[in-house]
């Protein structure tokens, strides 16, 4: 199995992955490779926003997440991975709340 080093287009994290895995991730995200955390965040973004807005697509979710990553990266005090973990935690917290919007 061929192992390649790839760099996340969002947060810049480097990972060594099999070419098979790289290809499958790229085909999921329109030719862009995202690390595990970023792809999770994009999927999460797409799920939550896509529910409210039908026209909200994968590209929008990726754009939103990339600008989120840029914001974190511009603040050297915050680690990207930590920021994302916090975001995911906050999101899952939101989901467990009863829906009050009717
Ligand atoms: Zn990433």
Ligand 1 centroid to residue 55 C-alpha, Å: 25
Query: CA 49 to CA 52: how far, in whole Å?
Result: 5
Ligand 1 centroid to residue 98 C-alpha, Å: 31
Nearest Cα residue to 22 out of 12, 40, 37, 7:
7
31-50 pLDDT, tens digit each: 999 999 999 999 999 999 99
Whole-model pTM: value is: 0.71
Query: Taking a C-beta distance cutoff of 8 angstroms, is the pair 64, 43 a contact?
Result: no
46-63 pLDDT, tens digit each: 999 999 999 999 999 999
Question: Kindly report the CA angle at 20 between 18 and 21, in degrees rounded to 5?
Answer: 70
Query: CA 91 to CA 30: how far, in whole Å?
Result: 25
Q: Judge whether residue 88 has pLDDT over 80.
A: no
State the chain's maximal CA–CA distance in angstroms: 52
Ligand 1 centroid to residue 69 C-alpha, Å: 8
Ligand 1 centroid to residue 53 C-alpha, Å: 25
Q: How confident is the model at residue 80 (pLDDT cuts 50, 70, 90)?
A: low
């Amino acid at each position: 199995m061929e192992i390649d080093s790839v760099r996340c287009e969002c947060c810049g994290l480097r990972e060594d992955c099999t070419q098979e895995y790289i290809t499958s991730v790229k085909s999921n995200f329109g030719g862009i490779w995202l690390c595990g955390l970023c792809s999770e965040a994009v999927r999460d973004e797409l799920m939550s926003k896509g529910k409210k807005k039908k026209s909200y697509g994968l590209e929008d979710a990726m754009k939103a997440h990339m600008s989120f990553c840029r914001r974190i990266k511009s603040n050297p005090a915050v680690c990207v991975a930590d920021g994302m973990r916090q975001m995911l935690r906050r999101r899952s917290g939101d989901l467990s709340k009863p829906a009050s919007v009717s």
